[in-house]
């Protein structure tokens, strides 16, 4: 079944003329005066991949996207499209479609004219323009609004038209800068699903920028997490979540975020336990030494357990009910810890509990570099 679906997707992508493209960034750097917006960026986006640039506002993700598009020129580094160096080519020479957050549509034109505009600029014959518009309208299910004015459309329909205007060009790749940012929560969820399904059908190389980790985790084949102009980690959603490369990634990905327990001692290769407060906690066997004597154990909320006998002592501070589960916040001498438990777990505010975890669920982070230390389970 998977092979048939892959074949069918390829047929669709060939039918609408989408060319699959690798995008490679080599040591990309961008400065604005003294401000460094992007630095030391090396990424490979494989053809047909849905690749997400994720990070907080100001981390450099949009600047990176604009350099790929040709809207910003790098200070140094290279940008390759299918092994062709396009670093200093104008945007119009790169054959890439950019979908903006605010749609970038002409409100005084109807949908048909908006879709036709980029093709007319290419001086394409009228018969070919008509054929492409009808093809894309059917793909996006907007045939019924082709004669409607943009100004009268709902947000979801405007987004489909914006996507249609990108697809109708048959570019080598799609770049999307928070395209769902202006939609309400219900529309965002619906449109993110539609975007992913559309990508599966046309298999076009797509780079998607967002600050929303849920969008990133549900839509991306690969994710690059950025902060302060650097890519801290890139990999599959599961790799990013299960094996964060830095303390920042562990705290940024996941809701609730990863818990961090401070360790006031050096970590040595071969260590299998650490002193935390007045007790020793088991950890996965370490393969590297820490640079600092102020380090951290990171554990996801679902990897923690509550019991009466073993672990870090604390008191229940609060409970958050989330449908089929709840999040229990425990106040400990090391700060608050979030524990995910079953919804029917009997636990009350101010109950005395202990929080424990298995060694294999822990990741240790160096306190100086905030980089994850290597262990046998990584």
- Can you spell out the DSSP letters for 145-162? GTTSBGGGS-HHHHHHHH
Structure confidence at residue 184 as a pLDDT band (50, 70, 90): low
**Helix intervals (H) in 37-105:** 61-69
Helix (H) or strand (E) run with residue 76 in it = strand 76-81
Predicted TM-score (pTM) of this structure: 0.85
User: CA torsion sign, 122 to 127 to 128 to 134?
Assistant: positive
Calculate the alpha carbon distances from 86 to 64, 73, 93, 177, 232 in Å.
14, 10, 8, 20, 25
For the chain, the straight-line distance linking the first and the last C-alpha, in angstroms and rounded, comes to 33
Nearest residue to 217 (alpha-carbon basis) of 181, 255, 246: 255
pLDDT score at 315: 95
Q: Is 6 left (phi over 0), alpha (psi -120 to 50) or beta?
A: alpha
pLDDT tens readout for residues 262-274: 999 999 999 999 9
pLDDT score at 8: 32
Arithmetic mean of pLDDT, 217-237: 96
On the question of a cis peptide bond just before residue 290, with omega within 30 degrees of 0, the verdict is no
Domains and CATH numbers, the chain: 2-95+171-242 (3.40.50.300), 256-365 (2.40.50.140)
Nearest residue to 135 (alpha-carbon basis) of 21, 17, 47: 17
pLDDT tens readout for residues 163-177: 888 888 888 888 988
Q: What share of the chain is helix, strand, coil (3-state, %, to 5)?
A: 30, 35, 35
Tokens of 347: 């636990």
pLDDT tens readout for residues 32-48: 999 999 999 999 999 98
């Amino acid at each position: 079944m998977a092979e048939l679906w892959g074949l069918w997707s390829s047929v669709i992508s060939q039918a609408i003329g989408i060319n699959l493209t690798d995008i490679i960034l080599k040591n990309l750097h961008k400065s604005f005066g003294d401000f460094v917006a992007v630095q030391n960026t090396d990424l490979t986006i494989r053809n047909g991949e849905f690749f997400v640039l994720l990070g907080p506002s100001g981390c450099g993700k949009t600047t990176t996207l604009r350099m790929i598009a040709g809207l910003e020129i790098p200070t140094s580094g290279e940008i390759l499209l299918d092994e062709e160096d396009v670093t200093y080519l104008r945007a119009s020479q790169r054959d890439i479609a950019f979908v903006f957050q605010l749609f970038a549509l002409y409100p005084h034109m109807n949908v048909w004219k908006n879709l036709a505009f980029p093709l007319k600029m290419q001086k394409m014959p009228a018969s070919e323009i008509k054929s492409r518009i009808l093809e894309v309208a059917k793909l996006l299910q907007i045939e019924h609004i082709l004669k409607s004015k943009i100004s009268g459309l709902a947000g979801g329909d405007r987004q489909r038209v914006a996507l249609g205007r990108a697809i109708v060009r048959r570019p080598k790749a799609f770049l999307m800068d928070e395209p769902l940012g202006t939609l309400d929560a219900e529309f965002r969820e619906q449109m993110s699903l539609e975007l992913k399904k559309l990508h599966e059908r046309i298999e076009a190389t797509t780079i998607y920028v967002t600050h929303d980790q849920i969008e990133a985790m549900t839509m991306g084949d690969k994710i690059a997490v950025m902060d302060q102009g650097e890519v801290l980690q890139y990999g599959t959603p599961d790799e990013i979540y299960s094996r964060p490369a830095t303390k920042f990634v562990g705290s940024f990905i996941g809701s609730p975020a990863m818990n961090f327990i401070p360790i006031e001692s050096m970590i040595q290769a071969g260590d299998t336990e650490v002193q935390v407060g007045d007790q020793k906690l088991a950890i996965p066997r370490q393969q590297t030494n820490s640079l600092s004597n102020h380090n951290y154990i990171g554990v996801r909320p679902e990897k923690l357990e509550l019991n009466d006998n073993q672990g870090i002592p604390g008191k229940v501070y609060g409970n958050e009910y989330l449908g089929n589960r709840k999040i229990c916040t425990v106040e400990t001498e090391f700060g608050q810890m979030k524990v995910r438990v079953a919804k029917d777990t009997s636990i009350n505010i101010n109950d005395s509990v202990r929080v424990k975890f298995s060694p294999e669920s822990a990741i240790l982070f160096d306190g100086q570099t905030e980089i994850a230390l290597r262990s046998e389970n990584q």
